[in-house]
Structure 1
Amino acid sequence: IIRNFIIDAYLNWGIEYVLLGGDDEIIPHRGFYVDEGLYWDEDIPSDLYYACLDGSFNHDNDNYWGEINDGLNYCENDLFGEVYVGRAPVDSTDELSNFVFKTLSYEKSDGDYLYNVRMVGENLDWGVSGGDYKDEIKDGSSNHGYTTVGIPHDYNVSTLYDRNGVWQKSEIISIINNGVHIVNHMAHTGVNFIMKITNNDLKNLENSKYFFGYSQGCYAGSFDNRMSDGNYGDDCIVEDFVTTHAGAFAFIANSRYGWGSYYDTNGASQHFDREFFDALFGENIREIGKANQDSKEDSIGFISDPIIRWCYYEINLFGDPTVRIKDAVKPEHDIEVRNIDAPTHGLPNETVSVVAGVYNNGQNTENVTIDFIVNKVTVNSTLISNMDSDIYQEVWFNWTPTANAVYNLCVYAEFVPGENITDNNMANTTVIVGPDIAVSSIFTPEYIELNTTGMINATIINSGLTNETNIIIDFIVNGAIIDNVSVSISRGTSVEVTFNWTPTVEGSYNITIYSEPVADEYFVT
């Protein structure tokens, strides 16, 4: 149900990000199957299920989800995200309050602590150490056939490595309490311990500047609370890190085993770790949900390796996917248009109200000109005078469309003198003026016996603001119209249509339900 809702919201609202609001017992996980050879698991908790929306991940309808070629028509699963997903693993009002407070606090944060990045590596009892893995993140690397950038020099990157002398958990607790922006970690972990810290130790955290964490360790992100021995316990430690009053505002971690290499740094988990920070600082993808998905898609060329597939499934974001990792230094000048809100549908000659949120992320007071643009034409402007640093302000525009059409609305902050960060100066949305009929879902049997009638059902929705009659719905098989019906749908409602079809030749068929455009309907994709 939840995934189907996300699919509908993606198709009809154009959503880009999804925050799953609840722990596993509230928003259940989908467990994926991977057989590595020596190890196999049929229940790897993976929120990728809510991000990649084509197919079911179980085309053969057995008990194993996410098998190779379990996608549509027995092809590879959809591994490219339509939306970017994070999870707020909360199961109480206190946890929800903590999660929201820390997320908002980070978004408003500034100051010296944003300079501080800490690489944390422990003794692995391997031929290499955790610090060897972390150096590739810190400095960038072209090892093992791919290249990723390091942490920019604008940040103050420090290390805490066992290879330099075994460190105690009190040291990482002190680092967190004194303010650290990013913590990147490599070591053996478990459901209830990470960085030598246990769930019980989190009571010793007192930081009011919250950090972003990334760890390659095993089971630290097991949000179904399953331990490596198959038993179940309390919430995993990464859940507690983001839902207690202190600690992290977001964390990326493994729900099952992390994967390293005994003799070198060519571990599968390292691949995703490197690609994540390359997304942040090499590709300038600062939204943590988008960067997490990018780290996976940049690794998809290796998906035939079952260990890469295992990591692809198990790496989950515990945090708001829209949060952008901040620069080390607050820019002198930076105006952001953070959002735009308008009705999705309208009518000709009826006024539409549009509101946008503008934020001064720079250090200086600015005079900001805000333009309202419709289909690339500026139709109105307003001036925000003397906008102080760290001020968020809403601006309103009224607009009256004169004809049925699909309109692109843009709110654009003109560059202020000296502004160099310009990719966040606009926000866009689409308004459909006139009729909008859509096929919102189709349900077909995966198999119909020869010369036996099968039933195909579809839901047709009228998202427009006018009642529509004589809507022709076509039933198409392999590109040929086999049948059609005429329906009437009131505004904001839907109807179900059913077609009966009897295949007479054995084979694989492409079934399409098509709503023919009604008069003056322009949004027909």
Structure 2
Amino acid sequence: MRSIRYPTISALIVLFFLMANINALSDRFTQANVNGENTPPDQHVDIHLEFDSSSARELTHNGFSYVTAPGYYIPFTEGDAALPFTIRKVLVHPLAENIRLHITNIEERTISVDHPVAGVPEPSPVSSSVPSPAGPPLEYPPEHLSVSGDGYVRGMKVLDIRFDPIILDGRGALTSASEIDARLTYDIPEEIQVDLGAPFRRSTSVFRSSLEHDLLNPEDIDRFPALKMDAPVSILDHGDVQYVVITNTSLIGDAFSPFIEWKNRKGIPTKLVETSFINDNYNGTDMAEKIRNFIKDAVNSWDTEFVLLGGDVAVVDYRGAYARTSGTTQPYNACDLYFSDLDGTWNQDGDSYWGETTDGVDLRPDVYVGRAPVQTYQEAKVFVNKTMIYEISPPSGYLDNATLAGEYLDSTTNSSQGMDLIKNNLLPSTMNATSMYDSAKGVFGNLNRPNFMNQVDMGASLIYHSGHCNWNVMSVGTASNGMMYNSNIPLYKSDAKYGVLNTIGCIANRFNNNDAIVERHVLEPDGGTIAGIGNSHYGWYSYGYPGFGPSEQFMYVMTYELFRNGQVRMAQHFAEGKNYFVSSSGSYNSARWIQIVLNLLGDPEVRVRTSEPGVMNVTFPSTVGMSYEGLPVKVSYANGTPIKDALVCLQKSDYYSYALTNETGEARFNFTTSNLDPLNVTITALNQLPFTVNLSVDNVLPTIHLDLSEPGTTGEDYSVNCTILDNAGIKEAYLEVNGSLGRTVLKGNGTVFTTNISIPVNSIEPLELRILAMDGSGNWNITPWMDLLVNDNDPPYLIEDRTGRFAETGDPHNFSLRASDNIGVGILQYRGIPIRNRPAQSS
């Protein structure tokens, strides 16, 4: 691989997928005139993108080059120029129409390459080693920036903006855009009858988190309404059910009960729904369509975000969907995306094929879906036990490990190089990444069945496999001992060190036909994995270009979503990785094929562990009262750093509430109860062990004794002393004075509390006082208003004597005196003679 030759240029280094010390793709985004439902007809979005051509590289084979750059991908359509592209997402009003993109400024430079640019070759299935070599391109990106697709995510309209930083003209000249500015404009119809609503009703919404990480304009999530899901039947009462487990208990029994109890306890409201209920209450041409119509109703009525299809196809039906590429057609591939993408019917043309390009399928997830491939009660117990061990009490010493196994896919294409792209570009330095290379072709390596199984047994949180497969076999090296069959899976003895398997191999996850090898990993009780990502039919690679084959690019972007884009839950990184390539999947090509056949077996909600779990520090009241407004729970890492977005759940027989911690690591609750059952507090956070505790409920109110036997004196300070007792201690105490004096904090040593107040100077009316006290459990007690008597010890004083000094005998004599007092002058006398008086002075 050689670097591109290019002229000396000055450009900002911008990479979407980062190498260790390089920032991600730099793009500035501004938006004007976005005002929610009452927006004016014309809207626009200004976009600025930058690219550094010095980051580009050539990957050459048979005289033709792929031009790549970190964080960019190669197109999927055969014949397209093998030049880098990336996708940026923009949120617009759900009724946006007449979308226009106008480039307002561009800085371009001509660059050169050592070899002709390849056309994307016909992909080869990862069940064959028959190569499809590259040739010259047949199609070229017409411009650097375009709107490549649009669709809906839970009723919110998302546009895909495709950036091709390097374009090729018909003469073979390459032009790189180092900077580009564009204005996106759209209209909103002034009058239209649609059902609009709030996109996210739940403060802990995981889909909201996904959009916040994906969008250029996440601040507009709260500004735009969402279209309501088009559900043919709506019978569910409105409620809060974030997670639905669909199963048939007549076959599975109550195996999912502890799983559902745990999800509820940690703050994911979860409900089991029987397939019989769905069959009896929802319309559809078959059971799969009935299940999908129920899920639509659950999204509308319950704001559901996760669905576990709790059974193999004999327990919970599946949809066979159409896929075609490279001369291969498979009309009925097992496709659980059908239950995740809820827009339209997936069979718009009404024929016998589902998911065709003519069926109005937008391929974007509206709910996160996983499948538990279980057929019996015992298999379901294995699935539940493994998942709960992984989430609640995993063994130590393996969750910061990753295993990357890559073999020769043909005589030339060594997929270990693709594994190294993941290892070197995406995995954090804190992970212990073990590369297992193929030992064939005269190259020293360590990839074979015994070594691979031993590596899994020692424990790895993430297991990547880039190699050939069939439904019952996984190739782990091309040597004689490189084949691992279903019959080998029981040999795993990992002591509960379960991880997550992701393979590009063909048919490894064909769960609709026998037990595929990915299923066997998930269902093996003594080892294997808790989840598996794999294909129900072919995976695809590109001859001579390891790491840039279609299936490898999907694996890479899923890893990026997990480590670099905050999509940490199992189905988040899986679905959002696929979502990245939706706009490349509009025609029958390898990208659309992979959208259809790539499925997740496992719990969609569980957070993927990527390091050894820590132990959280948690502070909270030792007991709680019958009512506690603002009950605080504070969460931090072991080093004291606050944990943001820890999920805190409080639950008891008559109370249920959950919240995410803020930047200071705190969540507060307005708790109230009518009984003394204990209150459970459960806290979960990424890469931390769960914390759980039961708090006693205290119904004993603080006892308050306030002694006001000593009166106050006008104009002086008065010391208020009270005794406050409680079994849980006193957390807060206040003195409240009716009138202008307001509320004062009482200071105390545990039982005796004091404060000083100033008695007004101008009144002897009694003061009304009361004490408010909250104990350590949050119970408040408030005394009745009590009178504090006020004395006056200040005599009146003479301000001025204006009485005349002389008088004639027998003549009247006027006395004129001015006197004052803090509470007014009652009687004024001169040598026993009363003088007419006024309240503050007499004369």
| Residues 248-294 of structure 1, C-alpha deviations (whole Å, 9 max, x = no match) | 00110011000100110321111210110000001011101011110
2:428 corresponding residue in structure 1? 152
How many Å separate the matches in 1 of 2:350 and 2:689? Answer: 55
SS of residue matched to 2:365: coil
User: What is the CA distance between 1:340 and its match in structure 2?
Assistant: 7.0
Q: Distance in 1 between matches of 2:692 and 2:501?
A: 27
Q: Helix, strand or coil: the match of 1:251?
A: strand
The alignment status of 1:99 with 2:383, answered yes or no, reads yes
Contact 2:648 2:681 in 1 (8 A): no
Q: How has the CA–CA distance of structure 1 residues 78 and 214 changed in structure 2, closer, same or farther, with 3 Å as cutoff?
A: same
Q: Cα offset for 1:69?
A: 2.8
Partner residue in 2 for 1:337: 647
Measured at CA, do residues 31 and 96 of structure 1 come closer, stay the same or move farther in structure 2, by a change above 3 Å?
same
Which position in structure 1 is the counterpart of 2:668?
Answer: 371
Return the offset for 1:312: 0.8
Q: Which amino acid aligns with 2:484?
A: I
Cα distance, 1:151 vs structure 2: 0.7
Paired AA for residue 371 in structure 1: R
**Cα 1:257/1:389, change in 2 over 3 Å:** closer
Is 1:182 equivalent to 2:462 in the alignment?
yes
d(CA) in 2 for partners of 1:118 and 1:338? 33
Residue 569 (structure 2) aligns with:
287
* Change beyond 3 A, Cα 1:136–1:392: same
The aligned counterpart of 1:85 is: 369
Which amino acid in structure 2 is aligned with residue 99 of structure 1?
F
Which letter does structure 1 place at the counterpart of 2:500?
F
Asked whether the 8 Å contact 1:368–1:383 carries over to 2, the reply is no
1:234-259 per-residue CA deviation (whole Å, 9 max, x = no partner) reads 31111111012021001100110001
**Superposition pairs of residues 425-504 of structure 1, within 5 angstroms:** none
Preserved contact between residue 353 and residue 396 of structure 1 (Cα < 8 Å): no
Q: Deviations over 1:418-451 (max 9, x none)?
A: xxxxxxxxxxxxxxxxxxxxxxxxxxxxxxxxxx
Instruction: Report 1:23-172 matches (<5 A).
Output: 23-71=312-360, 77-108=361-392, 109=394, 111-140=396-425, 150-162=426-438, 163-165=443-445, 167-172=447-452
Q: 1:239, 1:63 → 2: CA distance?
A: 28
Contact 1:357/1:395 (<8 A) preserved: no
Cα deviation for residue 35 of structure 1 reads: 2.1
Q: Deviations over 1:361-401 (max 9, x none)?
A: xxxxxx99641269xxxxxxx9989x99643246799xxxx
C-alpha separation in 2, matches of 1:2 and 1:274:
31
TM-score, normalised to structure 1, is: 0.63
1:447-505 CA deviation, whole Å, 9 max, x = no partner?
A: xxxxxxxxxxxxxxxxxxxxxxxxxxxxxxxxxxxxxxxxxxxxxxxxxxxxxxxxxxx
Query: Structure 1 pair 294/395, CA: closer, same or farther in 2 (3 Å)?
Result: farther
User: What's the CA shift for 1:324?
Assistant: 0.8
Q: Aligned-pair distance for 1:341?
A: 7.3
Once residues 660 and 387 of structure 2 are traced to their aligned partners in structure 1, the CA distance between those partners, rounded to angstroms, is 19
Q: Does the Cα contact within 8 Å between 2:649 and 2:681 map onto a contact in 1?
A: no
User: Could you give the per-residue CA deviations for residues 128-182 of structure 1, whole angstroms, max 9, x where no partner exists?
Assistant: 2120121121122xxxxxxxxx111110011111053363211111112222211
Matched, 1:241 2:521: yes
CA drift of 1:354 comes to 2.4
| 1:260 counterpart residue number | 541
- State the percentage of identical aligned residues: 31
- 1:318 matched to 2:601? The reply is yes
* 1:173 pairs with one of 453, 476, 479: 453
CA distance 1:370–1:97, change in 2 (3 Å) = same
Q: 1:122, 1:186 within 8 Å by CA — same for their partners in 2?
A: yes
Residue 270 of structure 1 is aligned with which of 552, 563, 567? 552
Matched, 1:391 2:691: yes
Q: Secondary structure at the match of 2:520?
A: helix
Give the Cα–Cα distance (whole angstroms) in 1 for the partners of residues 291 and 390 of structure 2: 28
In structure 1, what is the Cα distance between the partners aligned to 2:314 and 2:377? Answer: 15
Q: Secondary structure at the match of 1:32?
A: strand
Q: In structure 2, how many angstroms separate the alpha carbons of the residues matched to 1:277 and 1:131?
A: 16
In structure 2, give the amino acid aligned to 1:312: Q
Structure 1: runs of 5 or more not aligned: 72-76, 141-149, 226-233, 344-351, 360-366, 375-381, 398-525
Q: Which amino acid is 2:507 matched to?
A: Y
2:496 paired with 1:211 = no
The alpha-carbon distance between structure 1 residues 175 and 373, as it changes in their structure 2 partners (threshold 3 A), is same
TM-score scaled by length of structure 2? 0.40
Offset, 1:98: 0.7
User: Cα RMSD between the aligned structures?
Assistant: 3.1
Change (3 A) 1:113 1:286: same
Q: How far does the alpha carbon of each residue in 1:45-75 deviate from its partner, in whole angstroms, 9 at most, with x for none?
A: 110000011111101110111110312xxxx
> 2:487: which partner in 1?
200
Compared with structure 1, are the counterparts of its residues 304 and 235 closer, same or farther at alpha carbon in structure 2 (3 Å cutoff)? same
Which amino acid letter does the alignment assign opposite residue 545 of structure 2? D
Amino acid at match of 1:354: Y
How far apart are residue 185 of structure 1 and its match? 0.5
Secondary structure in 2 matching 1:275: helix
Equivalent in the alignment of 1:508: none
Relative to structure 1, is the Cα distance of residues 169 and 66 closer, same or farther in structure 2, using a 3 angstrom cutoff? same
Cα separation, partners in 2 of 1:384 and 1:21, compared to 1, 3 Å: closer
Q: Which has the larger radius of gyration?
A: 2
CA distance in 1, matches of 2:379, 2:516: 14
Looking at structure 1, the residues matched to 348 and 680 of structure 2 have their Cα atoms a distance apart, in angstroms, of 55
Letter in 2 for 1:261: S
- The number of residues matched between the two structures is 353
Residues 680 and 694, structure 2, Cα contact 8 Å, conserved in 1: no
1:296 to 567, 578, 581: 578
Any idea what SS the aligned residue of 2:540 has? coil
Distance 2:354 2:695 in 1: 47
Kept in 1, the 8 Å contact 2:681–2:694? The answer is no
C-alpha distance in structure 2 between counterparts of 1:384 and 1:37, whole Å:
55
**Cα–Cα, structure 1 residues 383 and 96, in superposed 2: closer, same or farther, change >3 Å?**
closer
How far off is 1:204 after superposition?
Answer: 0.6
Distance 2:541 2:689 in 1: 45
In 2, Cα distance between the equivalents of 1:340 and 1:15? Answer: 20
Deviations 1:1-33 (A, max 9, x none): 111111111110001111100001221211111
| Residue type of the alignment partner of 2:692 | Y
Tell me if the contact between 1:53 and 1:78 (Cα under 8 Å) persists in the aligned partners. Answer: no
Change (3 A) 1:186 1:394: farther
Contact residue 192 and residue 198 of structure 1 kept, 8 A:
yes
Query: What residue identity is the alignment partner of 1:247?
Result: G
With over 3 angstroms needed to count, the CA separation of the structure-2 counterparts of 1:209 and 1:372, relative to structure 1, is same
Whole-angstrom distance in 2 between the partners of 1:219 and 1:129:
20
